[in-house]
Chains A and B, each alone.
Chain A
């Protein structure tokens, strides 16, 4: 039966408030993206640390799994776009933040791989090169050194915190806020530690920023789905 009477002012305000609440409650993050990236980055960082700590090689560059994860991410994004029925302003803004984060990480990887070679070329043109000189009195001869960005993984750890903190604050998700804070702490510690320990700190940061929050979001999502059935 249709109700065509005019609403009172109180009813209008109640309706507006009710609709806003319904929109707020319509968020259903599956947690898959956090879970996947959390697993991949934690694993890659941890394996890198273990390889360097215990001096063994797994036979391939473990960081290739990060690039491999882009394929399922594209599939997840396309599926999400097909299923999504509403785009909230905050979701659109957060997507932009994560896109900027992804591009920045890619940019940093490019920097990390190009700068050492570019430095060698430029220094050759200027007629000098970097040399490792021992000061421990061992008398070892100097070694030619290929330039490298010092403690670069600290910058990655610093970057991990940015989108995580923005998402945590926006979504009022305290596990991501805690993850971001921990990431900042890991960044500070990594400034004082050898690069192999930076990898371990990176693994901890990635686990707390994405893996653990991802597990929590996934469990909530599955519980909600079970309740809806």
Chain B
């Protein structure tokens, strides 16, 4: 989510490369985020190869902002 929040859309391979996650692990995460409605997943073919593109939804942005706010509040309380 941290990676996707700053971009319009990103390919699965890009996310995999940047997060250093395995394809299997990342697929599970993507599926969970999709089921929660936090990201949109578009599967298509590009040059005869399957391509998966992920995009954060407005619900995902809202949830991420709430998460960051909660983190900030927690850290401020802890100071």
A binds B: yes
Q: Are A22 and B9 in contact, with the CB atoms below 8 A?
A: no
Question: Which residues does chain A contribute within 8 Å of B9, judged by CB atoms?
Answer: 86-87
Question: Which residues does chain A contribute within 8 Å of B50, judged by CB atoms?
Answer: none
Question: Which residues does chain A contribute within 8 Å of B13, judged by CB atoms?
Answer: 85
Return the contact of A88 from the options B6, B46, B75, B78 (Cβ within 8 A). B6
Question: Which residues does chain B contribute within 8 Å of A71, judged by CB atoms?
Answer: none
Report B64-79 CB contacts with A as 1/0, cut-off 8 Å: 0000100100110010
Return the contact of A9 from the options B8, B46, B71 (Cβ within 8 A). B71
Return the contact of A85 from the options B14, B25, B74, B78 (Cβ within 8 A). B14
Question: Which residues does chain B contribute within 8 Å of A216, judged by CB atoms?
Answer: none
- With CB as the reference atom, state the residue of chain B lying closest to A87: B8
B10 beta carbon closer than 8 Å to chain A: yes
Return the contact of B3 from the options A9, A13, A22 (Cβ within 8 A). A22
A88, B8: Cα distance in complex, Å: 5
- With CB as the reference atom, state the residue of chain A lying closest to B22: A2
Main secondary structure of the interface of A (DSSP, over half): helix
Question: Which residues does chain B contribute within 8 Å of A85, judged by CB atoms?
Answer: 10-11, 13-14
Report B4-27 CB contacts with A as 1/0, cut-off 8 Å: 011111110110001100000100
B35 beta carbon closer than 8 Å to chain A: no
Return the contact of A26 from the options B5, B14, B74, B78 (Cβ within 8 A). B14
Q: Are B8 and A92 in contact, with the CB atoms below 8 A?
A: yes
Q: Are B19 and A19 in contact, with the CB atoms below 8 A?
A: yes
The residues in A between 19 and 40 inclusive whose CB is less than 8 angstroms from any CB of B are 19-20, 22-24, 26
Q: Are A23 and B7 in contact, with the CB atoms below 8 A?
A: yes
A135 beta carbon closer than 8 Å to chain B: no
A24, B68: Cα distance in complex, Å: 19
* Least CB distance, A18 to chain B, in whole angstroms: 8
Q: Are B71 and A86 in contact, with the CB atoms below 8 A?
A: no
A9, B7: Cα distance in complex, Å: 23
- With CB as the reference atom, state the residue of chain A lying closest to B9: A87
Q: Are B75 and A89 in contact, with the CB atoms below 8 A?
A: no
Question: Which residues does chain B contribute within 8 Å of A9, judged by CB atoms?
Answer: 71, 74-75, 78
Task: Spell out A's residues near B (CB within 8 Å).
Answer: 2, 9-10, 12-13, 15-16, 18-20, 22-24, 26, 82, 85-89, 91-92
Task: Spell out B's residues near A (CB within 8 Å).
Answer: 2-3, 5-11, 13-14, 18-19, 25, 46-47, 68, 71, 74-75, 78
Q: Which 7 pairs, one residue from A and one from B, show the smallest C-beta to C-beta distance?
A: A19-B2, A85-B14, A16-B2, A86-B10, A85-B11, A87-B8, A19-B3
